[in-house]
């Protein structure tokens, strides 16, 4: 068995890209719609907000310990992190908020909640904490941030003053109550010194906080940020679009690309036939011999010579998984291409159920293959000739003798001989499977360089299986956008289970630009 051609069951990066490219419109729509809505909603519906910040330095002077021998002001000199955390909470205390509200005024504040406007956070690796205020008015945000800083310092000064006063009063009362005869004692002297230190500390009006940067109005809003929103929306929309692509791909039962065939199947793609214009739909090699479609059939002819270089292939059956996938048009156009290359071609229409070759080639179907199989006519009598000079129907209709074929014709082109299906039989399957049909194929091989056999689809009837053992090679047709993935599995089972020589696949209804590149537009414009 031939080596697999890119067949794999595991997802590959190239496969992912192929699926995304095939349904790229989903990604484009997702990106455009979601990103536009996100950015538009951000600009239209979200009110801009501004931030202003002021920085306060918290000292750890320890002057209270130096003067009175105790940490009465609660500076947490040995725990700076705790001191900063405590400060961040005290800034938003009710007393400070009330002072800020009074300083700013109810007219400017309106119904704003000061506590929700302010955020206090320590600056990493410093003794600085930052007061940040967010509001729709940039100047108000700056004023509130500064008000929080100044009022917190004032409040803290008052708290420290009250603390010192509370410590001073009992000592002062004790000193005043000491009798005169005891005032020379060491104990009285210690109390007196402590009282003096407290009075000094109280008079100094010190504070451990200092404003190191005042807030100023910032004209640039912190939200919304359309650019950032757009970037986030772009990423999200890409993910959604890609997800939608693979969802659609899973739900899509049809084969959509040449790569999908090469990934799934064990045989090579011999040619990809582009979509044809309505005027050229069936016989592009006759109607537009310089087009990309005709070039695809020339490529098919060339590739057939490379598939089995060490084995003589004189009879080829063309079939598909489903009807209307292009097997008959492939047979007809391949026959024309081979004849133009100087090969003697005989076409046998083995699809006795849905014959199309007589219509495509403009031949009569009064006498044909069924007559030859049942013995009412010979193979010679069932064949019709298409003149080599015009590749058109001969005026004589039926030919007289296979031996009378001219050895050469105009420009080396040979005539084509075709046995159409003939009268429709009641038992087409039996006729195709008969030994007589096999002998007709063998007889045609004696007179032709290549015999092309049009067979019914393998997924509909068993005729193609019956014919498989009677020919040298098989070409399988897959039509993009029509052949189902289930049918690909059917074709693979046919390859694996039927003792036959499958040469490869021909893809019909392909995108010419994607398969051959834009340079093939030359054939259409020349």
Q: What is the model's pLDDT at position 512?
A: 59
pLDDT grade for 76, boundaries at 50, 70 and 90: very low
Beta bridge partners of 452: 316, 347
State the number of CA atoms in the 13 A half-sphere of 243 facing the CB.
Answer: 8
CATH 3.40.50.300 boundaries in the chain: 255-355+433-525
The span from the CA of 219 to the CA of 360, in Å, is: 76
Quote the mean pLDDT of the chain.
82
Is residue 1 pLDDT above 90, yes or no? no
Question: Minimum mean pLDDT among 66-75, 251-260, 357-366, 431-440: which range?
Answer: 66-75
Task: Using alpha carbons, select from 422, 431, 435 the residue that is nearest to residue 462.
Answer: 431
Question: Minimum mean pLDDT among 14-18, 424-428, 500-504: which range?
Answer: 14-18
pLDDT grade for 238, boundaries at 50, 70 and 90: very high
Please say whether the beta carbons of 102 and 108 come within 8 A: no
Sheet hosting strand 315-320, strand order edge to edge: 269-274, 502-510, 473-479, 315-320, 450-454, 345-349, 416-419, 384-386, 393-398
Q: What is the model's pLDDT at position 204?
A: 65
Q: Tokens for 40, please give them.
A: 């538009």
Burial environment of residue 8 by CB neighbours within 10 A (0 to 12, 13 to 18, 19 or more): exposed
Query: Which is it for the CA torsion 237, 240, 243, 244, positive or negative?
Result: negative
Query: 209-213 and 50-58 as β-strands: parallel, antiparallel, unpaired?
Result: antiparallel
Q: What is the model's pLDDT at position 501?
A: 87
Q: If you average pLDDT over residues 494-519, what whole number do you get?
A: 76
CA trace torsion 280, 284, 286, 289 (10° rounding)? 120
The span from the CA of 258 to the CA of 262, in Å, is: 7
pLDDT grade for 145, boundaries at 50, 70 and 90: very high
Is residue 278 pLDDT above 80, yes or no? no
- Which range, 144-153, 351-360, 460-469, 483-492, has the best average confidence (pLDDT)? 144-153
Task: Using alpha carbons, select from 206, 222, 215 the residue that is nearest to residue 120.
Answer: 215
* Protein fold of 255-355+433-525: Rossmann fold (3.40.50)
Its pTM stands at 0.60
- The angle at the Cα of 254, spanning 253 to 257, to the nearest 5 degrees, equals 135
CATH 3.30.1890 boundaries in the chain: 50-221
Q: If you average pLDDT over residues 360-379, what whole number do you get?
A: 91
Question: Minimum mean pLDDT among 133-147, 192-206, 446-460: which range?
Answer: 192-206
Q: Which residues, in sequence order, are CB contacts of 132 under 8 Å at separation 6+?
A: 51, 52, 53, 118, 119, 120, 121, 145
DSSP state of 402: G
Q: What is the model's pLDDT at position 178?
A: 83
pLDDT digits (tens, 9 = 90+) for 412-421: 788 899 999 9
Is residue 525 pLDDT above 90, yes or no? no
**At the top level of CATH, which class does the domain 50-221 belong to?**
alpha beta
Q: Tokens for 346, please give them.
A: 């005989």
pLDDT digits (tens, 9 = 90+) for 37-72: 999 998 888 889 999 999 998 765 544 444 444 554
The residue ranking higher by pLDDT, 60 or 470, is 470
Is residue 158 pLDDT above 80, yes or no? yes
The residue ranking higher by pLDDT, 132 or 257, is 132
Q: If you average pLDDT over residues 175-193, what whole number do you get?
A: 81
Asked whether the bond before 77 is cis by omega within 30 degrees of 0, the reply is: no
- The angle at the Cα of 126, spanning 125 to 127, to the nearest 5 degrees, equals 140
**Which ranges of 265-368 would DSSP assign to H, the alpha helix?**
284-287, 292-307, 327-340, 357-361
Query: Which is it for the CA torsion 64, 70, 76, 77, positive or negative?
Result: positive
């Amino acid at each position: 068995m031939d080596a697999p051609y890119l067949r794999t069951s595991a997802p590959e990066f190239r496969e992912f890209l192929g699926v995304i490219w095939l349904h790229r419109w989903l990604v484009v729509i997702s990106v455009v719609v979601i990103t536009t809505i996100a950015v538009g909603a951000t600009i239209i519906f979200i009110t801009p907000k501004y931030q202003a910040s002021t920085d306060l330095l918290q000292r750890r002077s320890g002057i209270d310990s130096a003067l009175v021998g105790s940490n009465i002001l609660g500076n947490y000199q040995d725990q700076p992190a705790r001191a900063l955390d405590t400060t961040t909470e005290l800034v938003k205390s009710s007393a400070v908020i009330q002072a800020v509200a009074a300083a700013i005024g109810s007219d400017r504040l309106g119904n704003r909640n000061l506590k929700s406007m302010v955020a206090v956070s320590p600056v990493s690796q410093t003794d600085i904490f930052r007061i940040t205020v967010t509001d729709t008015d940039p100047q108000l945000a700056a004023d509130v941030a500064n008000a929080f800083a100044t009022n917190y310092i004032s409040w803290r000064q008052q708290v420290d003053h009250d603390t010192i006063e509370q410590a001073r009063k009992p000592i002062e009362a004790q000193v005043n109550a000491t009798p005169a005869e005891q005032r020379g004692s060491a104990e009285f002297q210690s109390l007196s010194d402590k009282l003096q230190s407290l009075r000094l500390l109280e008079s100094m009006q010190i504070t451990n906080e200092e404003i190191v940067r005042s807030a100023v109005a910032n004209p640039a809003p912190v939200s919304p940020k359309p650019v950032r929103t757009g970037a986030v929306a772009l990423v999200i929309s890409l993910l959604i679009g890609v997800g939608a692509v693979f969802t659609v791909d899973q739900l899509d039962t049809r084969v959509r690309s040449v790569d999908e065939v090469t990934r799934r199947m064990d045989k090579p793609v011999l040619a990809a036939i582009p979509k044809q214009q309505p005027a050229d739909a069936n016989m592009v090699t006759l109607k537009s011999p310089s087009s990309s479609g005709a070039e695809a059939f020339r490529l098919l002819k060339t590739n057939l010579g490379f598939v089995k270089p060490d084995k003589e292939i004189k009879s080829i059956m063309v079939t598909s998984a489903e009807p209307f996938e292009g097997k008959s048009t492939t047979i007809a156009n391949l026959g024309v291409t081979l004849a133009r290359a100087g090969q003697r071609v005989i076409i046998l229409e083995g699809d006795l159920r849905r014959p199309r070759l007589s219509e495509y080639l403009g031949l009569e179907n009064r006498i044909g293959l069924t007559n030859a199989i049942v013995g009412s006519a010979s193979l010679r009598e069932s064949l019709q000739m298409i003149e080599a000079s015009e590749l058109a129907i001969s005026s004589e209709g039926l030919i007289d003798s296979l031996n009378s074929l001219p050895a050469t014709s105009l420009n080396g082109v040979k005539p084509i001989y075709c046995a159409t299906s003939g009268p429709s039989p009641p038992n087409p399957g039996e006729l195709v499977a008969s030994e007589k049909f096999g002998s007709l194929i063998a007889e045609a091989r004696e007179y032709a360089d290549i015999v092309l056999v049009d067979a019914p689809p393998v997924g509909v009837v068993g005729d193609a299986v019956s014919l498989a053992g009677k020919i040298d090679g098989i070409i399988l047709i897959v039509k993009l956008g029509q052949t189902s993935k289930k049918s690909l599995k059917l074709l693979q089972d046919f390859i694996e289970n039927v003792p036959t020589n499958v040469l490869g696949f021909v893809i019909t209804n392909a995108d010419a630009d994607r398969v051959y590149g834009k340079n093939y537009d030359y054939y259409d414009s020349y």
